[in-house]
């Protein structure tokens, strides 16, 4: 699958107050995620779509992230088709971590990207 028109952003340039949508599974999220991110696993996105549209009210740009960028690319493509301003975070949470962006874990332990 190739997304020629899919807008992407570098993990280092996502605004700290930007809307970050994490589409990874629960175990990945629990191990480490960006504080304040909205967690909607890709498998639940359609069922929980209202949570996203509420968070993205006022045409906020949605920065979609997964582990490396594959799942988030599919989700960003879907959101764009729904008329939502969405961009894929290039390199996913691995790039986020590599860029030194903060991570938190549900357990309070040292956060990491699973």
35-47 pLDDT, tens digit each: 999 999 999 999 9
So what's the pLDDT on residue 108?
86
Separation between Cα atoms, residue 55 and residue 101, nearest integer Å: 22
Q: Is 2 exposed, middle or buried (0-12, 13-18, 19+ CB in 10 A)?
A: exposed
For residues 13 and 20, is the Cβ–Cβ distance under 8 A? no
Of 66, 73, 93, 95, which is the active-site residue? 66
Separation between Cα atoms, residue 41 and residue 48, nearest integer Å: 9
Q: State the pTM of this model.
A: 0.93
Question: What confidence category does residue 5 fall into, taking pLDDT thresholds of 50, 70 and 90?
Answer: confident
Question: What confidence category does residue 49 fall into, taking pLDDT thresholds of 50, 70 and 90?
Answer: very high
So what's the pLDDT on residue 2?
53
Is 108 designated active site?
A: no
């Amino acid at each position: 699958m190739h997304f020629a028109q899919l807008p992407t952003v570098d993990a280092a340039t996502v605004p700290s107050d930007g809307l970050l949508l994490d589409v990874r599974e629960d175990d990945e999220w629990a191990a480490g995620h960006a504080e304040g991110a909205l967690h909607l696993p890709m498998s639940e996105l359609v069922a929980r779509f209202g949570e996203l549209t509420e968070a993205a009210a006022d045409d906020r740009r949605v920065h979609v992230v997964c582990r490396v960028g594959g799942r988030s690319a599919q989700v960003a493509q879907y959101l764009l088709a729904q008329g939502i301003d969405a961009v894929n975070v290039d390199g996913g949470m691995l790039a986020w971590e590599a860029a030194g962006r903060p991570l938190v874990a549900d357990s309070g332990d040292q956060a990491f990207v699973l």
